[in-house]
Amino acid sequence: MRIAIFTETYLPDINGVVTHIESLKKGLEALGHTVLICKSDASCKKNYVENNILHCPAVRSKKLYNYSLASPVSLKRRQMLKQFKPDIIHIHTEFGMGLSGVFIAKHLKTPYVYTLHTMYDDYIYYVAHKPFVPVIRKASHAYFGAIARHASAVCGPSPKVQAYFDSCGIKTAVNVIPNPVDLSHFDEKNINPDIAENFKRKYSISDTDTLCCFCGRLGKEKSVDVLLKYWALTASSDTSLKLAVFGDGPEKEKLIELSKALGIDSQVIFTGKIPHEELISYLCCCKMYITCSLSDTYSISMLEAMSAGLPVLALNDPYNEGQVKDGVNGYIFFNADEMYRKINLIRSMSHDDYLKFQKSIKESCNGNSRIETAKKLVSVYVSAIKSYNSKHNKHNKKRVD
């Protein structure tokens, strides 16, 4: 199968969507499929293909994570996709490149699949002042609904996407395709002991400390402020507990000031952005991963922590039920006191019990390997092509193998 994936963000950008697409690409290619990544690129002046990546001219948008935004219309891009002859087009964005994929799919009479990664109601504050939020929210629901209704299939990383569409009044069935993770990347053989030791030395982390962590983009939607407040309420007097916050973002300085105001700055470490290939060397220094975010759709950072064997403590999110299972790969908590009790539950485990727990945690990620996820996606592609052909009364079936 020949698959064209349209995205606004891709390598060298580092975020959940990029990790998702890169893992899917490798998984699909391992299954024998041909993948063309079509990405916006503010560094280029013309469309060109290199290493199966179509680079499309774009401009930077500071309000949208500093991502590149491309024009949805390009005759050259359309011609290049015509030459590629995709069996299916898969869009992972609702902006310029997403619309470009929709337009090109219509022109080439090719089905397209739409994956919604982001609960945009939690992000509207990035682009709209508070008085305009209701209007923007209503318009965004209509806009995303139009993209979904014309797609031959819609996907999402968790049931939260179905709940989101339902709340928007969008009657579309969502195929839940959990985020993939490269399990081999988080194998202990990839730990660099020098990086790990330097990290512990830099932040004065002793062997008697219990280090918890969170990893992600530091935006409002990640609710790191809630995590800090919960920590201050229950763990502030527990000097052997420390919290490492891996990542960067617009809220970083505010969070640093908040930790000082809460009197927990001696316990909280803000590392800033770290190279993804070094993440395993940081995670190996930690005992558990904690998150209070309710905006994620099957957090990749959480999955990566699990792949490294870290139990996850997650604030209860009904729409992501089942991602964290008590005693299997972590624990759910409902408030600050319960969070602290679960922290103590994990750190009170014997060495042997913790090792057994780690084995269970890693095994829980097997269904999220990039190969298994790619297989699920191929099934969606095949169904989408059949549905499209049936709908449009096509007699010449497209190649799906």
Q: Structure tokens of 204?
A: 């004065």
What's the CATH number of domain 183-368, 1.10.620.20, 3.40.50.1390, 3.40.50.300, 3.40.50.2000? 3.40.50.2000
Closest CA to 98 of 136, 135, 143, 158: 143
Same fold, 2-180+369-391 and 183-368: yes
For the stretch 72-82, pLDDT in tens is 999 999 999 99
> What local confidence, expressed as pLDDT, does residue 40 receive?
96
Q: Considering all CA atoms of the chain, what is the largest pairwise distance in Å, rounded to the nearest integer?
A: 71
CA dihedral 3→4→6→7, nearest 10 degrees, is 60
> What local confidence, expressed as pLDDT, does residue 128 receive?
57
Q: Structure tokens of 387?
A: 């549905």
For 339, half-sphere exposure in the C-beta direction (CA atoms, 13 angstrom radius) is 23
| 161 Cβ neighbours under 8 A, 6+ residues apart | 116, 154, 155, 174, 176, 297
> What local confidence, expressed as pLDDT, does residue 400 receive?
57
* Domain boundaries, given as residue ranges, for the chain: 2-180+369-391, 183-368
Cα–Cα distance measured from residue 282 to residue 196, given in angstroms and rounded to the nearest whole number: 6
What's the CATH number of domain 2-180+369-391, 3.40.50.1820, 3.40.50.12280, 3.50.50.60, 3.40.50.2000? 3.40.50.2000
**Which residues of the chain register pLDDT less than 70?**
62-66, 121-133, 393-401
Question: Pairing state of beta strands 88-91 and 268-272?
Answer: unpaired
For the stretch 33-72, pLDDT in tens is 999 999 999 999 999 999 999 999 999 876 666 678 899 9
> What local confidence, expressed as pLDDT, does residue 125 receive?
57
- pTM, entire model: 0.84
Closest CA to 88 of 393, 395, 387: 387
Cis peptide before 134 (omega within 30 of 0): no
